[in-house]
Amino acid sequence: MLDYDAVHPNLKKLSHSSSILLHSCNRKFELLRMTGQREESDFHLDFGKLVGFGVEDFLQKNDIEQVYFDMFMYWHGSIDADDGIKKKKTFWHGLHAIQKFAPLRWSAFKDMELFAYKTIGKDGKEVLKTATELSFYIDLGHGFSYRGFVDAVMLDKMKNELVVLECKTTGNNNVHEATYKHSGQSLGYSIILDAIARKMGRQLGSSYRVFYPIYKSSVMEWDLFPFNKSHLSRARWLKDILVDKDLITARANDNHFPMYGESCYSFFKECTFFGTCEMSNDVMMKGILPVPEEDPNSFDFQFTLLELIEAQLERHGAAV
C-alpha cells in the first residue's frame, strides 16, 4: 500500500519538465526538486524566455520596433555576457531571432491571429484576455498536482480552428521532428483547448494542430514543425501522470531514488550532482528548498483528475 502522505511536498508538484527529469534519473529528480539547484547557466533559460516573449509580443502587436522595445524592458540580464556571445544567446541575438521570425509570421501564420477570450478578472468583472502564457492546474489528489503553460493559442480564421503554438530554442544545428512529435507536453494541450472551446460555445473536433517554431541559435535560423494531435491520446497522457505519481510515492516510501548512469553525462556535460549524488540525504539536503506557496486559483484553468476523466469518458462515448 502506497503512503502518499509520506512524500515531501516538493516532490508532489509535477510538470512536463519534472516528468522528463524523473524519467532520466530518479535521483536527479529528487535532488533538484528538494534543493532547487538549477542545472545549467542562467543565460540559456533567460535567452529562451526572451525569444518566447518576443514571439508572443510580435504575434499580438505585429510591430517589430515596438517588440524590440518591449524585449528591452523585459530583459534583466547582461546585454552581452561573454558566455552568451559564444553561444549566440545575448539580448542582441534575441532581437535577431524575432527579426528572422517575422517572415514566418506572414507566411505560415498569415491566416492566424492570437485568440482572445472572455474571463473573469480579479475584480470580478468580465475581461477580454489574449491567449498567451495560458496556465492550467490539475489536482491529482493526495497533495499532488500537475501544472502546465501553453505559449499561445491562435485562431485559424480560414478554418475556424484553434491552434497551439509552442516556441522552442535549441543550440543544435539540425532538429529532427522526432524530437517533438510525441512530446508529452503537447498531449496535455487539449485540456486548455477544450476549456477555451467551451467558452466559445462549441466542441473541438477529433484532433487539433500544434505548431513548433524552433529557433536554432547556432545558425540563427527557424525551423517549423506542424503536428496533428488526437484528443484520444489524452487518456494515455493522464495515465502516464498517475504512473509518475505512484513511482515517486514508491521511491519516497522506500527512501531510495536510484541513479541512472546513462544520464550522468548528456548535452556534452556531466550532471550537476555527478560525484556527490551517492552521498546520503543528510549531507545532500542540508538546505532543503522551502515549500513554495501555490494558489490553484492563480492559474487560468483548474481541473480535478475526476473532472478530466469524466470529460474523457464523455468524449469517448460521443465518438462511439
Q: Amino acid letter at 303? A: F
Is 261 part of any domain?
A: yes
pLDDT digits (tens, 9 = 90+) for 114-169: 988 877 777 778 888 888 888 889 999 999 999 988 899 998 988 888 889 999 99
Give one DSSP letter per residue of the chain, joined into a string. ---GGGS-GGGSEE-HHHHHHHHH-HHHHHHHHHH---SS-HHHHHHHHHHHHHHHHHHHH--HHHHHHHHHHH--S-TT-HHHHHHT-SHHHHHHHHHHHHHHHTTTTTTEEE-EEEEE-TTSSEEEEE-EEEEEEEEEETTEEEEEEEEEEEEETTTTEEEEE--EEES-S---GGGTTT-HHHHTHHHHHHHHHHHHT----SEEEEEEEEEETTTTEEEEEEEEEETTHHHHHHHHHHHHHHHHHHHHHHT-----GGGSEETTEE-TTTTTTTS-HHHHTTTPPPPPP--GGGSSEEEEHHHHHHHHHHHHHHH-
Q: Is residue 44 part of a domain?
A: no
**Domain of 138, in residue numbers:** 4-39+108-319
pLDDT tens, position by position, 259-298: 988 888 876 778 888 888 888 888 887 767 777 778 888 8
Position 279 in a domain: yes
Domain count, the chain: 1
154 found inside a domain: yes
- Answer whether residue 122 is part of any domain: yes
Per-residue pLDDT of the chain (320 residues; tens, 9 = 90+): 899 999 999 999 999 889 999 999 999 999 988 887 765 556 778 899 999 999 999 999 999 999 999 999 999 877 766 566 778 888 999 999 999 999 999 999 999 999 888 777 777 788 888 888 888 899 999 999 999 888 999 989 888 888 899 999 998 888 888 888 777 777 777 777 777 776 666 666 666 788 999 999 999 999 999 988 776 677 778 888 999 999 999 999 999 999 988 888 876 778 888 888 888 888 887 767 777 778 888 888 888 888 887 766 666 555 44
Q: Of 237, 209, 262, 214, which Cα lies nearest the Cα of 312?
A: 237
Could you tell me if residue 81 is inside a domain?
no
β partners of residue 169: 215
Asked if residue 123 belongs to a domain, the reply is yes
* 302 assigned to some structural domain: yes
